A and B are shown apart, each in its own frame.
Chain A
Amino acid sequence: MFAVTYAIPDVLVFVVAALCILGGALGVIAMKNPVHSALSLILCLLGVAVAFLEQNADFLAAVEVIVYAGAIVVLFLFVIMFLGVDASKHPHVEPLVGQRWLAGLGVVITVAGVITLMVNSDWVSGVMSTSTGGTGLATGSGNVTQLGDSVFTTYLLAFEATAGLLIIAVVGAVLLARRERPADPDVEVIDVEKVALGVAEEDEGEWWIIKQGSSEEVES
């Protein structure tokens, strides 16, 4: 299989993309600072986008850059900086003895098994699909039209369910990240009627009085 010579530009693009992917992935798991990890993740995702482009998945490459590298990683960075997560808060102690070695061993065995399976099977040897559901993939820019047709006809129900999923995710995120209203006795609500009647003393027109020890309420 490797005796065939390939076009030099294709191989070059693949090698660069592979280096970006693997370097970025190793950076994600090796960097101590979470911000550096997120930036490595961007490198890895750009490499994946190049790999998509090389396989005629133009639309997915664009979505990969826009949604993943553009939105998701920025969300990661926003949360990292919002929380102020510091590298020093995670000392590299291992509660489980030998966890790192065991994890490495398991991962190596699994990946080696998958690769051995690929080598010994017909999946990747160029044998065409036996499925009859394939519509035939156009090369070049015809791909986007095919993908759109597929999403809006065959997978229309799944696409609509996706809309519901996104709505649920947005509502869930808002509910999770919302700061709960403090029901502590430090905050005392003024009775508006009494203020209007002059029964209670007015405090510069504010609706509630902050007593001592509740400065957190002011920040929010």
Chain B
Amino acid sequence: MTIPASWFLVLAAVLFGVGAFGVLTRRSALIMFMCIELMLNAVNLTFVTFARTMSDIGGQTTVFFIMVVAAAEVTVGLGIVVAVFRRRESTSVDELSELQG
């Protein structure tokens, strides 16, 4: 008998929690990007699990598109980090406070 879907779903939920904790607590923009990748992968795992459970290929197709969008997001995000670092000599998000009210 194959592994039940609930094991994968619990694993994905915990992975999402770890990623969310990282985004909330880490200061470096690069680490925050990595934690966002963790959360995206948790959601991908959930989609694949439900694609198997419900026997629907749509879940896997969605994961395919999520991966493409994640790649584009990382490209632009790291470009922004590089541009900010050039101006500020730091990637700490605490020092980027010019837009506060």
Contacts and interface: CB of A to CB of B under 8 A. Distances in A.
A34 to B, nearest CB: 5
Which of B7, B27, B41 is the most central at the interface, judged by chain A CB atoms within 10 Å of its CB?
A: B41
Which of A119, A147, A177 is the most central at the interface, judged by chain B CB atoms within 10 Å of its CB?
A: A177
A64 to B, nearest CB: 7
Contacts of A18: 7, 11
Contacts, number: 246
Q: Name A's interface SS.
A: helix
20 contacts: A5-B1, A10-B1, A22-B15, A29-B18, A29-B22, A29-B25, A45-B37, A48-B45, A54-B3, A57-B51, A59-B60, A60-B63, A68-B41, A114-B13, A129-B53, A134-B55, A135-B57, A162-B65, A162-B68, A176-B82
Given A5-B1, A44-B38, A172-B79, 10 more contacts: A11-B3, A29-B25, A41-B38, A52-B45, A76-B34, A103-B25, A124-B9, A149-B57, A165-B69, A174-B79
A79 interface: yes
Interface residues of B, number: 74
Given A44-B38, A79-B82, A90 B28 contact: yes
Interface stretch (A104-112, A193-201, A203-211): A104-112
